[in-house]
């Protein structure tokens, strides 16, 4: 797993017009210099927003990638939800999921554990 490499690529893609052009022309070739797994390359080439979110890509970086692909905001959010439903919880990174998909997380004061 090379989450750092995926996020580095996306960060550079989001900020560099020449990289955007190269990616648009040949997605596979532009990914070669990055230390990516086959799974990550496939998700970036597709683009598979749900898979990238599942892998652990930061949503702030991912939303710009979605916009680059003309994915509307509501569709972007749904693709992230679908990614969790299809591939499972976010594996690592800031969005790593510590509860199951169907678990309800209740605030401490809602659970009868105190007042605010």
Residue ranges of the domains in the chain? 3-111
**Around Cβ 54, how many Cβ atoms within 10 Å?**
25
pLDDT tens per residue, range 67-79? 999 999 999 999 9
Q: Is 63 exposed, middle or buried (CB count within 10 Å of its CB: 0-12, 13-18, 19+)?
A: middle
Is the pLDDT confidence value at 63 over 60? yes
Task: Name residue, tokens 């004061």.
Answer: 109
pLDDT tens per residue, range 73-107? 999 999 999 999 999 988 887 767 666 666 665 65
**41-61: average pLDDT:** 96
Fold assignment, 3-111: Protocatechuate 4,5-dioxygenase; Chain A (1.10.700)
């Amino acid at each position: 797993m090379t989450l750092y490499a995926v996020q580095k690529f996306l960060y550079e893609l989001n900020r560099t017009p020449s990289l955007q052009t190269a990616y648009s022309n040949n997605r596979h070739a532009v990914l070669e210099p990055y230390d990516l797994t086959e799974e990550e390359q496939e998700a970036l080439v597709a683009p598979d927003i749900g898979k990238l979110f599942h892998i652990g890509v930061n949503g702030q970086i991912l939303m710009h990638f979605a916009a680059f692909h003309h994915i509307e905001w509501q569709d972007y959010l749904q693709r992230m939800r679908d990614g969790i439903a299809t591939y499972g919880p976010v594996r690592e990174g800031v969005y790593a999921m510590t509860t199951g998909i169907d678990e309800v997380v209740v605030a401490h004061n809602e659970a009868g554990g105190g007042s605010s």
